[in-house]
Amino acid sequence: MDDERLRAMREEYAAAGLAESAAGDDPVALFDRWLADAVNAGVHEPNAMALATATPNGRPSVRLVLLKGADARGFVFFTNTESRKGAELAANPYAALAMTWHEVQRQVRIEGPVHRLSPAEDDAYFASRPRGSQLGAVASPQSQVVPDRGWLEDRYAEVDRAHPDAEPVPRPAGWGGYRVQPQVVEFWHGRRGRMHDRLRFTRTDADIASGAGWSRDRLAP
Ligand SMILES: Cc1cc2nc3c(=O)[nH]c(=O)nc-3n(C[C@H](O)[C@H](O)[C@H](O)COP(=O)(O)O)c2cc1C
């Protein structure tokens, strides 16, 4: 695609913005539409998201993970539950997510409590992964210090030998999914002159308990 066309595309997104009328009342539905727009715009790994966790005394850490499910219940990712993020979530089950789609000048931020998926959900997703990823998940003690690359490759080869091709690789006990239950969802859309659009949806524990809807606020960019 030539530069002129790319520039024109940015102009188009900047002009479109995010109006309250277009945003609607349901941030999960809006998130779905924005993810589809990112996919249609050809964003590379549109489901990559920064996941921030923190220790109980408030030391944050952040890394990228892949979004593997999004609906009214929350935003799902999978990982080693004994990793650094797993340990932080066990001690302090709250997380923040950020996704950015530069091509369409958009960002989404999500915050809320985190819940472990059920073993059945963990198993179903693990079974759907390519065999190589399954073997890697069994072989790699994610976030632990290891002697060297050779040690990891030996472990992988050992796990490979232990699981003949025709047999399914069982999910390791320390591997599974988490669902971030959205209580704050903020949509950012780039506009000209740094006059960006920001709409924040919030829902407290009390709102959830009473079945109340989301509140929506416009924030200064
Ligand atoms: C684009 C991208 C996607 C990733 N997706 C995942 C993922 O879905 N699950 C995961 O455990 N690690 C994923 N990683 C690796 C993590 O960023 C991180 O290195 C790993 O989970 C260990 O993090 P921790 O030590 O903070 O627990 C991804 C990395 C990148 C760059």
138, 212 contact by CB (below 8 A): no
Name the closest-CA residue to atom 14, ligand 1: 65
What distance in angstroms lies between residue 143's CA and the mean position of ligand 1's atoms?
Answer: 10
pLDDT value at residue 16: 82
Burial 19-55, CB ≥16 within 10 A → b, else e: eeeebeeebbebbeebbebbeeeebeebbebebbbbe
* Pocket lining for ligand 1, CB < 6 angstroms: 45, 48, 61, 63-66, 77-80, 83-85, 142-143
Best mutation site among 44, 47, 63 for ligand 1, i.e. most ligand atoms within 8 A of its Cβ? 63
Atom of ligand 1 nearest to the CA of 45: 1
CATH code (residue 69): 2.30.110.10
Instruction: Give the residue numbers annotated as catalytic, written as ranges.
Output: 194
pLDDT value at residue 8: 67
pLDDT value at residue 3: 73
What distance in angstroms lies between residue 141's CA and the mean position of ligand 1's atoms?
Answer: 13
% of residues, the chain, pLDDT over 90: 88
- Which residue would you say has higher pLDDT here, 85 or 207? 85
Average pLDDT for the chain: 94
What domain range includes position 113?
Answer: 3-122+175-218
Name the closest-CA residue to atom 3, ligand 1: 65
Residue 138 inside a domain? The answer is no
pLDDT value at residue 4: 77
Residue 164 inside a domain? The answer is no
Atom of ligand 1 nearest to the CA of 85: 27
What distance in angstroms lies between residue 95's CA and the mean position of ligand 1's atoms?
Answer: 15
d(Cα 163, Cα 158) in Å, to the nearest integer? 9
Residue 116 inside a domain? The answer is yes
For strand 48-54 and strand 175-180, is the pairing parallel, antiparallel, or unpaired? unpaired
Residue 110 inside a domain? The answer is yes
Does pLDDT of 11 surpass 70?
Answer: no
DSSP-assigned beta bridge partners for residue 107: 100, 188
How many domains does the chain fold into?
A: 1
Q: What letter would DSSP give residue 103?
A: G
* Out of 12-16, 91-95, 206-210, least confident range: 12-16
Residue 161 inside a domain? The answer is no
Report pLDDT digits (tens) over 17-76.
Answer: 999 999 999 999 999 999 999 999 999 999 999 999 999 999 999 999 999 999 999 999
pLDDT band at 164 (very low <50, low <70, confident <90, very high): confident
Tokens representing residue 196 in the block: 């960006």
